Amino acid sequence: MSDWKFPFLFAPLWILCVQCFPVNAETLIERIRSANYQAVGYAEPLSDRFSQLKRTINLVRKSPPKSGAKKTEIDGFSVEVFEHDNQFFWLIGPIGEAAEPYIVIAEKAERDVIFEAPHPVKDRATGIQAILLLQALRGRAAIISGNNRCASEKKSRCSGRTRVCSQGRTRYPISDPAHSQENLFHATHVLFSKIWPKAIFVQLHGFSGRGTKTKFVLSDGSRQKQSKDGGIAGRTRDEIRKKLGQPELAVSCQDTEDDKYDYRKLCARTNVQGRQLNGSSNVCRKSANKASGRFLHIEQQWSVRKPVRDMGRDALAYHYMAALKNALRKAVPQILNR
């Protein structure tokens, strides 16, 4: 299911006409802020849902539906159009409360980057942050989970343990899309990685900063470590440090020289999206030894994310968010021959 090996069912093709599809007066950020995330009762989707979402994504990418309403439906998914800074964004999402992701696809993207927020409830404000960065950097797309990561008590078969959803360290629940494969979030991630084979995926997370000065923990999801890390995590860290001035505020899990700082080792080695991009032989069970350069996992203290929740778009001028935006602008590639 995670690779969407289902036959593509051809549906009638609508004519691309953004003007015929009225732009939503609500902003995309407001829409994600007010999203109806499923809190409990998560169940893995039926196989038909994977093929339906793939078909909906392909239809929207190639010819968004012509409609006289602000919102339309395709295969049981809601499709809306939003505009920001002379750029259109299509939002595919669940109808009502459902454990299905919110998928944003940008028109006329300028940078080969996709933002992901697998834990928008527990890692507060990361869903909004994904949209802010997508629009600020004019990236390709964003994927935001539609449920609380702790919405199920059933355990994932994938490796890794956490305390987030229980009193002690236990296996991740199947409702955590960063640690389980059979969900629409991961399936969309895999699809986008094939549609845009050179895109970098930036996955946004949050952590408790008790006992550490570090604001950003960056990693590429692999076991590879070296002195003076020059990979995607190290380069992004270096740019953040240039803005903030204090090296301990941003660290790379891949750099042995950063071990001198007292930071939480949240290094994404059990993250299934990172494993997939890094070419793991068993995405569910085995961490990757080397990095592909396509996955950037960013853990952030609440002091970084709180202005996003409180200030919305104005948070981009706040010093932590400004440093992150500037670092990503330099780390992710521009799209050539657009």
Q: Give the model's pLDDT for residue 19.
A: 44
Q: Share the mean pLDDT of the chain.
A: 90
Total residues belonging to the chain? 338
Strand order in the sheet with 113-117: 71-74, 77-84, 87-93, 102-106, 141-144, 113-117, 200-207, 295-301, 216-219, 250-252
Closest CA to 140 of 95, 221, 198, 73: 198
- Phi/psi at 177 (nearest 5 deg)? -70, -15
Each residue's pLDDT tens digit, 224-236: 999 999 999 999 9
Residue 59 has pLDDT above 60, yes or no: yes
Q: Domains of the chain (ranges plus CATH)?
A: 100-331 (3.40.630)
Write out the H or E segment, with its range, that includes residue 67. Answer: none
Q: Please say if the pLDDT value at position 40 is more than 90.
A: yes
Residue 67 has pLDDT above 70, yes or no: no
pLDDT score of 15 more than 60: no
Q: What tokens does 143 get?
A: 């994927």
Tell me the average pLDDT across 126-143: 98
The answer to whether 274 and 190 are in contact (CB under 8 A) is no
Tens digits of per-residue pLDDT, 247-261?
999 999 999 999 999
pLDDT for the residue 97: 78
pLDDT (tens digit, 9 = 90+) per residue, 273-309? 999 999 999 999 999 999 999 999 999 999 999 999 9
Task: Compute the average pLDDT of residues 201-214.
Answer: 93
pLDDT digits (tens, 9 = 90+) for 151-184: 999 999 999 999 999 888 999 999 999 999 999 9
pTM: 0.92
Please calculate the CA angle 39-208-320 and round it to the nearest 5 degrees. Answer: 105
Hey, what are 295's tokens? 């996955």
Q: Average pLDDT, stretch 39-59?
A: 94
3-state class (DSSP) for residue 221: coil
Which of 284, 293, 291, 289 shows the shortest CA–CA distance to 332?
Answer: 293
Phi, psi of 326 (to 5 degrees): -65, -40
